[in-house]
């Protein structure tokens, strides 16, 4: 496995719409290796999600650790989500902090649907459907946005909460 180079904000690959994967291509060795490398890259940089465009691959694929915040002692097993289609459940919108490996050391509060349903393929090419709420739902929405060239800045209602990580730790983290 290898650690991949992460594209940073400003790289055009982050603004392009990624293309869907063919079901029969998912089991190909190149895609399986890409998934393994993306999981290793995400873990290396302490991310909770990483989308293929962030590693310069314009494919509708992301990996994510969905069971928790990713900073637990028992880290959740990362999963691959391919060609995700999100349906919002209910109308509740919640605002919470987000960061992005392509926008290093910055945090901001982003409104997201509280609950969603996702249809996708898993890494075996099998159809999956899952329901998620709160933090995992936020991660899935953030990563799916990457597949459409959307960054979390685009979803913020205002930039008043935009903060560097040091200042986040100093002024904001305790208020949660």
Catalytic residue among 57, 143, 160, 175: 143
63 binds Zn ion (CB under 5 A): no
100 binds Zn ion (CB under 5 A): yes
Point out which span in 13-21, 96-104, 107-115, 129-137 binds Zn ion (CB under 5 A).
96-104
> What are φ and ψ of residue 73, in 5° steps?
-65, -40
| 143 tagged catalytic | yes
CB of 161 vs Zn ion, minimal distance in Å = 17
50 binds Zn ion (CB under 5 A): no
How many Å apart are CA 4 and CA 35, to the nearest integer? 11
How many Å apart are CA 130 and CA 118, to the nearest integer? 5
How many Å apart are CA 142 and CA 74, to the nearest integer? 23
Bridge partners of 133, per DSSP, are: 115
CB of 100 vs Zn ion, minimal distance in Å = 3
Q: Give the count of beta carbons closer than 10 Å to the beta carbon of residue 66.
A: 21
Point out which span in 37-45, 100-108, 122-130, 158-166 binds Zn ion (CB under 5 A).
100-108
Tell me if residue 100 falls in helix, strand or coil: strand
**How many chain residues are in contact with Zn ion, going by CB under 5 A?**
1
Where does this chain bind Zn ion (CB under 5 A)?
100
Q: Write out the catalytic residue numbers.
A: 143
């Amino acid at each position: 496995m290898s650690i991949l180079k992460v594209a940073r904000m400003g790289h055009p690959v982050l603004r392009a719409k990624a293309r869907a994967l063919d079901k029969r291509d998912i089991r190909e060795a190149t895609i399986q290796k890409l998934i393994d490398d993306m999981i290793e890259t995400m873990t290396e940089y302490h991310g909770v999600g990483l989308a293929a465009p962030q590693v310069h691959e314009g494919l509708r694929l992301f990996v994510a650790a969905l069971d928790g915040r990713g900073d637990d002692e028992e880290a959740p097993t990362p999963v691959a989500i391919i060609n995700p289609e999100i349906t919002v459940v209910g109308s509740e919108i919640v605002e919470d902090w987000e960061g992005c490996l392509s926008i290093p050391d910055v945090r901001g509060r982003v409104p997201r649907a509280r609950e969603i349903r996702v249809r996708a393929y898993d890494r075996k090419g099998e159809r999956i459907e899952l329901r998620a709420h709160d933090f995992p739902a936020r991660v899935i929405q953030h990563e799916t946005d990457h597949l459409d060239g959307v960054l979390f800045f685009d979803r913020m209602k205002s930039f008043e909460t935009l903060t560097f990580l040091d200042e986040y730790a100093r002024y904001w983290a305790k208020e949660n």
